[in-house]
Amino acid sequence: MTDRLRIALAQMNQKVGDLAANAEAMLRMRRAAGGADLLLVPELQLTGYPPEDLVLKPEFLARTTEEAGRLVALTAEPGPALIFGSIVVRNGKAYNAMIVADEGRELFVTLKRELPNYGTFDEKRVFASGPLPEPFEYRGVKIGLPICEDIWLEDVCQHLAAKGAELLLVANGSPYELDKDHLRRTLVEARVGTTGLAMVYLNRVGGQDELAFDGSSFVVNPDGRLVTQMADWEEALLLTDWARGADGRWSCLTRERHVLDDYPADIYHAMMVALRDYVGRNGFPGVILGLSGGIDSALSAAVAVDALGPDKVWGVMMPSAYTGSVSVEDAKENARLLGCRHDVIPIVPAVEALGAMLSDVFAGTQAGLAEENIQARLRMVTLMGLSNRFGHMLLTTGNKSEMSVGYATLYGDMAGGYSVLKDAYKTTVFALSRWRNRVKPEGALGPSGPVMPERIITKPPSAELRPDQKDEDSLPPYSLLDAVLVGLVDQERSVAEVASETGADPKLVAEIEKLVLRAEYKRRQAPPGVKVGNRNFGRDRRYPITNGFRTVR
């Protein structure tokens, strides 16, 4: 029986479905972890997370089993025992599992018991639930290997402690959202408190479609103290030293403390990471977007430049008859500050041509929304033409406030391949823009200093689709609108509750609720975008399009 262990923690990125590349990345980490006894990697690191309905594909399961066997065999190379996440098939059922391998042999397998089935998670759809797990014994030390959700309920940790586990190594696939660091810490401290066992909380980094994984792995000792905090957003390998104390309890001796992002830096990093991996892994040479001289497109462009580099971002200003000279100037200066490509392609000839084409049918009717939406759709036709010709992915620039109430044009400004602002309310957009003009984020590929003219932040928002148009002609002030939307959308409050909590007129709140529900059909056709809050439009919130229910009585 040993009284000392060296445990390597690999905070890793992944690509869902790229089994060979994920396996090779784990082997590289294992080679780099020389001198360690054990190497822990994140949940489902072999398959990537979340694999979603790939798990329902027999060929995927067969190849995962094959690749897991190959990975186990390759641990015959010198190095630590590898604890890796994969899928195990037993009696025709697929299980989310952790496999322990060393010296070319499979030493232990444990199956995930608690399957999350809320928010972004739907593991009960594809996985079977395992039994209460047993500890794994390594060199006389009993180690518990709960998997992610297994620690969110008490049963698994309590059972492992009762079965003699001496420490808990938890592999996670925990997506970023606001205030998640605090939630994880509180949870782990509670489990340590009830079991009396030290716990490693290991998480992954990187982007996967709508999800950004922030890492932020940490270790809490039996006394409840946080002793090790790994960085957020970065791949890292940390070798931690452990010792059995006089009281028989294991503690981590390693002291390493990284400072995690505060608001709004954490949101900005989530956007960067998600966009970087989405664009890179889907093979796009870069992104193109409408650079309008407004704050949404300016912030979207800044995130893109910081994530991908200025050479991979292309801004196009597409003035109409209603576009002010200030917007043209601001868009040009915005591109100059970012160092990205900037072109001006007026849509006036296209608007006039379509107006002539529709003149007979439109005769005798009043101009209005149709003409406004035509402009927005012609801009997207222009951008998609450039995207098709040159390969750049079209980056959508709408924010969550607009998407909530339908203040966006279907097949117009909603079109595109991805949106970094999809889960950011307008007030968040303002906060991020002011912050980015002061601070260059860690790891950003864009410039230091301001990235957009101050006037873009201070001028009243406008779609500029009719003379002297302002957003507040159609919407309440964003400070009020966003407070109402947080209540209705993020917190699922009723009209009466939101009116009481915000001080807004109940009739206004009821009207906003109606707009939110009526816009569901638009959101179903919107591109994916990075999740930053606890209730994004997409994986978190799945409402019927045809829906007669209203909370107002």
Q: Which residues contact 176 (CB under 8 A, 6 or more apart)?
A: 211, 212, 213, 214, 266, 270, 531, 532
Q: Which residue has the tokens 């309440």?
A: 476
CB 154 within 8 A of CB 160: no
Span 73-115, pLDDT tens digits: 999 999 999 999 999 999 999 999 999 999 999 999 999 999 9
pLDDT at 1 (0 to 100): 79
Residues 224, 297 share a domain: no
Residues 269, 241 share a domain: no
Q: Tell me how far the alpha carbon of residue 180 is from its chain's centroid.
A: 12
Give helix then strand counts, H and E, for the chain: 16, 21
Of 490 and 542, more confident:
490
Domain limit, last residue, from 237, 257, 277: 257
User: For residue 354, what is the domain's CATH number?
Assistant: 3.40.50.620
Q: Is the pLDDT of residue 549 over 90?
A: no
Residues 161, 142 share a domain: yes
- Mean pLDDT across the stretch 31-36? 95
Q: Please work out, in degrees rounded to the nearest 5, the angle formed at the alpha carbon of residue 321 by the alpha carbons of 317 and 324.
A: 65
Q: Which of 138, 397, 375, 203 is nearest to 289 (CA)?
A: 397
**48: amino acid identity, one letter:** G
Give the 3-state secondary structure of residue 481: helix
Q: Please work out, in degrees rounded to the nearest 5, the angle formed at the alpha carbon of residue 344 by the alpha carbons of 433 and 349.
A: 125
Residues 275, 232 share a domain: no
**209: amino acid identity, one letter:** D
Does residue 152 belong to any structural domain of this protein? yes
Span 418-437, pLDDT tens digits: 999 999 999 999 999 999 99
Does residue 489 belong to any structural domain of this protein? no
Tokens of 388: 């098709």
Residues 183, 240 share a domain: yes
3-state secondary structure 518-539: HCHHHHCCCCCECCCCCCCECC
Does residue 495 belong to any structural domain of this protein? no
Q: Please work out, in degrees rounded to the nearest 5, the angle formed at the alpha carbon of residue 379 by the alpha carbons of 374 and 385.
A: 120
pLDDT band at 552; cut points 50, 70, 90: confident
What is the Cα–Cα distance from 175 to 119, expressed in whole angstroms? 11
Residues 272, 123 share a domain: no
Span 153-201, pLDDT tens digits: 999 999 999 999 999 999 999 999 999 999 999 999 999 999 999 999 9
Q: What torsion, rounded to 10 degrees, do the Cα atoms 527, 530, 536, 539 define?
A: 70
Number of domains in the chain: 2
Does residue 354 belong to any structural domain of this protein? yes
3-state secondary structure 29-94: HHHHCCCCCEEECCCCCCCCCCCHHHHHCHHHHHHHHHHHHHHHHHCCCCCCEEEEEEEEEECCEE
What is the Cα–Cα distance from 537 to 535, expressed in whole angstroms? 7
Domain extent at residue 66: 4-257
Span 447-483, pLDDT tens digits: 999 999 999 999 887 666 667 767 777 788 999 999 9
Q: Which of 418, 431, 429, 432 is nearest to 387 (CA)?
A: 418
What is the Cα–Cα distance from 76 to 90, expressed in whole angstroms? 25
Does residue 108 belong to any structural domain of this protein? yes
Residues 248, 126 share a domain: yes
Residues 315, 207 share a domain: no
Q: Is the pLDDT of residue 224 over 90?
A: yes
Domain limit, last residue, from 451, 473, 495: 473
Q: Is the pLDDT of residue 403 over 90?
A: yes
Considering the chain, what is the average pLDDT of its residues?
A: 94
Residues 251, 269 share a domain: no
User: For residue 212, what is the domain's CATH number?
Assistant: 3.60.110.10
Neighbours of 353 (CB within 10 A): 11
Active site amino acids: 43, 112, 148
Span 227-280, pLDDT tens digits: 999 999 999 999 999 999 999 999 999 999 999 999 999 999 999 999 999 999
pLDDT at 463 (0 to 100): 67
Domain limit, last residue, from 473, 493, 520: 473
Residues 278, 251 share a domain: no
pLDDT band at 542; cut points 50, 70, 90: confident
Q: Which residue has the tokens 């203040």?
A: 407
Strand order in the sheet with 136-138: 136-138, 141-144, 167-171, 199-202, 218-220, 226-229, 256-257
What is the Cα–Cα distance from 171 to 145, expressed in whole angstroms? 8
Of 117 and 26, more confident:
26
pTM of the model: 0.93
Span 298-349, pLDDT tens digits: 999 999 999 999 999 999 999 998 888 999 999 999 999 999 999 999 999 9
Q: Tell me how far the alpha carbon of residue 360 is from its chain's centroid.
A: 48
What is the Cα–Cα distance from 407 to 471, expressed in whole angstroms? 9
pLDDT at 464 (0 to 100): 64
Residues 301, 169 share a domain: no
Does residue 35 belong to any structural domain of this protein? yes
What is the Cα–Cα distance from 488 to 387, expressed in whole angstroms? 36
Q: What torsion, rounded to 10 degrees, do the Cα atoms 134, 137, 143, 146 define?
A: -30
Q: Which of 256, 334, 231 is nearest to 291 (CA)?
A: 334
CB 213 within 8 A of CB 204: yes
CB 170 within 8 A of CB 200: yes
Does residue 524 belong to any structural domain of this protein? no
- Do β-strands 393-396 and 287-290 pair in parallel, antiparallel, or remain unpaired? parallel
Tokens of 489: 């959308």
Does residue 480 belong to any structural domain of this protein? no
Residues 205, 271 share a domain: no
